[in-house]
Amino acid sequence: MLANLWMTLLGVLMLTQPAHAQALGILKVNANVDQATVHVGSELLGPAPLTREIAPGSYMVRVTADGFDPYVRQITVKSGQTATVGAKLSIGGGTADFMADPDGATVEINGKDTGLRTPTRLSALSDGRYRYRLLKPGYEPVEGDFEIKNFNNPLIFATMESSSGRFEVTSDPAGATVYLDGQERGVTPMVLEGVDPGLHQVGVRLNGYALLVREVDTSDGSKGLVNARLKKDGGKLTVKTGDSQATVMLDGVPVGTGKSVSVKATRGSYIIDVQAPGMAAATGSAKVPVKGSVLYKADLEPGSSALEQATPLTRRWTFWTGVGLGVAAIGTGSAVAVAATRPDPPPSGDVALTLP
């Protein structure tokens, strides 16, 4: 019965707005307990008995007293008429009523999900302080404290704010620069408002740590949330641009300008974009390893530019053939170390080399 009653109280405040020309109505509340407290919606009106002029409309009336269970009814006040509520409270108490706008929020108490949704009531609560949290998809959490003492009956009402258009970015350590879709937006921790729903690239960069890029989809109206745990380890990506004014971007995050740009990034696949004044942009994909380095070369031209992965000099067989027996002269220990960096053997058959 209580559940059905709560389901009818979806209009927590006033459900209908009166016309300006309408006369006020009168609300009278009596109770079988002296000095019982009267709420209309979330507003405290005072102790019963109570008589109050009120605008016509539908209201939720709540009457409480310590040591008694709350009395809750929905009433309708009509223009020029009197609506009377006779509250009969039963012995009980130690309850907490939760209401939210919009309704349907999950109620957590002391970090545990009660399985209840607002509007709802928790009963038979022992004396003490409680921590609550209200959660609803697409809305910001609401949390706070309430106290049960001498079988009282606190009312918790929350107006929940939409998460749509909101981005929260934190990092460990803090103070990292945040890029949203290629634009620098500030440093962590930070909150952005008014971000259009959709697919977004979030870059987090801090000197001495590997660049971290995350793709966040807020197409469903949810909040964008990035908790970046930055690492000092990462693969090294170098892009040779050959142009002192060239800017290199990694997944939309500017990482440097100049003829040679290097950045340390976490392992993953990235889109490299190289742009220079008067030149066509060079774009391509790159895979950054957990450790080690990768090298890319941009051939920038006014009409058409290209980006390709380059092979370091020490990975080319022409280099190893050119140094020849000089490696052995370094010493056994050094020879073993150098040999470990050689590339895989070339295909079988004759190999034509041009030596200096």
Domain boundary among 64, 87, 110: 87
Whether this prediction's pTM lies above 0.85 is answered by: no
Domain boundary among 229, 254, 269: 229
**What are 235's strand-pairing partners?**
265
CATH number of the domain to which 242 belongs: 2.60.40.1120
339 and 275 inside one domain: no
Q: What's the confidence (pLDDT) of residue 127?
A: 94
Closest CA to 111 of 83, 135, 140: 135
55 and 119 inside one domain: no
Domain that holds residue 250: 235-310
Give the pLDDT confidence of 234-273 residue by residue, as tens digits: 889 899 999 999 999 988 889 999 999 999 998 888 899 9
Q: What is the mean pLDDT of residues 77-94?
A: 94
102 and 138 inside one domain: yes
Q: Is residue 173 part of a domain?
A: yes
Q: Is residue 198 part of a domain?
A: yes
258 and 203 inside one domain: no
Domain boundary among 87, 116, 131: 87
269 and 199 inside one domain: no
Q: What's the confidence (pLDDT) of residue 354?
A: 33
Give the pLDDT confidence of 276-324 residue by residue, as tens digits: 999 999 998 888 888 888 899 999 999 888 888 876 544 544 444 444 4
Would you say residue 337 has pLDDT above 60?
A: no
35 and 76 inside one domain: yes
User: Which residues contact residue 123 at a Cβ distance below 8 angstroms, ignoring those fewer than 6 apart?
Assistant: 69, 92, 94, 95
Number of domains observed in the structure of the chain: 5
